Amino acid sequence: MTLLDRLPRGVTLTPAGRYLEAAGRRLIAEEQRLSATLRAMGEGLEGELRVGAEPMGLWRVVSTRVASFLSAHPRVSLELMDAPPRVQLENLANGYLDLAVIPVLPQEPLPPISDVAFTVEFVATLPLTLIVPQSWNLSVSDPLPLASLRGKTWILPRRLPGARSLSRLIDDRFASAGGSPTKIIPVPTVQTAATLVAAGLGVSVMSDEMAAHHPDVDRVPVAGGWPELPLGLVRRKHGIVTPIAERFAGLFATDGHGGPAD
């Protein structure tokens, strides 16, 4: 099997070579995590925990669990990755992240990345709202028909293969209103969208809780409302799961104080 193709200047990886490189990196990453875990088990519960959290999930459910976990386990070193869902899935696949909390939809299972499959545990749902610039002074007593907003500029998280739950939800709502918005500006995350909305560029959709604390945007009701956006705790289906990661994941089965999760 050929792993390299010779070029006039240098070489390039063949598809088989690229696969071997990705698999090798994943194995090396998991071996490093295994060694670190064994050392931690010999010294007590300590080590590294790397968690990915989409901004709305970080705001809604992850931050409180992080605070509770670090209070109970002060010798754990935590790294949080606040990034678009696709980036988090890629970092789960290559072994860098232990867990990720991202928006997911039951009707859209997450596809494997580099032959790495994922498991999803639904842990919460996010009420959504339309946000508009405060400078518009859009005061409404009745919910706005969604069709009346098609001509507005919509600022939405970029559509990403394998992690398009929010865009799918918005597509479905607009399909029932006669068609998609005429102008969409794609951005990396809802935080970026909210900043541009606050600047007066257009409108967007984000979690109601997050919008309530964002300056310079107004929440506006829409006729028919929005479906709630499910959040999932995502892990690699196969591979090493450290005791620290298992303990942290256990917090999503309860509210951190023995009660049910959100």
Q: For residue 119, what are the β-bridge partners?
A: 235
pLDDT at 15: 78
4 backbone dihedrals φ, ψ, rounded to 5°: -130, 140
**Cα–Cα distance, 91 to 114 (Å, whole number):** 11
Calculate the average pLDDT of the chain: 84
Please compute the mean of the pLDDT values over residues 129-149 and round it to a whole number.
Answer: 87
Contacts of 26 (CB under 8 A, 6+ apart): 93, 94, 95, 114, 116
Q: What percent of the chain has pLDDT over 90?
A: 39
Fold of the domain spanning 18-125+231-250: D-Maltodextrin-Binding Protein; domain 2 (3.40.190)
Please compute the mean of the pLDDT values over residues 118-142 and round it to a whole number.
Answer: 89
pTM: 0.74
pLDDT of residue 42 exceeding 70, the answer is: no
Where in the chain are the domains? Answer: 18-125+231-250, 128-227
Query: How confident is residue 40, by pLDDT bands cut at 50, 70 and 90?
Result: low
pLDDT at 262: 47
DSSP state string for 24-93? HHHHHHHHHHHHHHHHHHHHSS-EEEEEEE-HHHIIIIIHHHHHHHHHH-TTEEEEEE---HHHHHHHHH
128-227 matches 18-125+231-250 in CATH topology: yes
Please compute the mean of the pLDDT values over residues 207-221 and round it to a whole number.
Answer: 91
| CATH architecture of structural domain 128-227 | 3-Layer(aba) Sandwich (3.40)
When comparing pLDDT for 172 and 52, which is higher?
Answer: 52
Q: Of 41-55, 60-74, 240-254, where does the model show the most confidence?
A: 60-74
**Cα–Cα distance, 166 to 57 (Å, whole number):** 12
Largest CA distance in the chain: 69
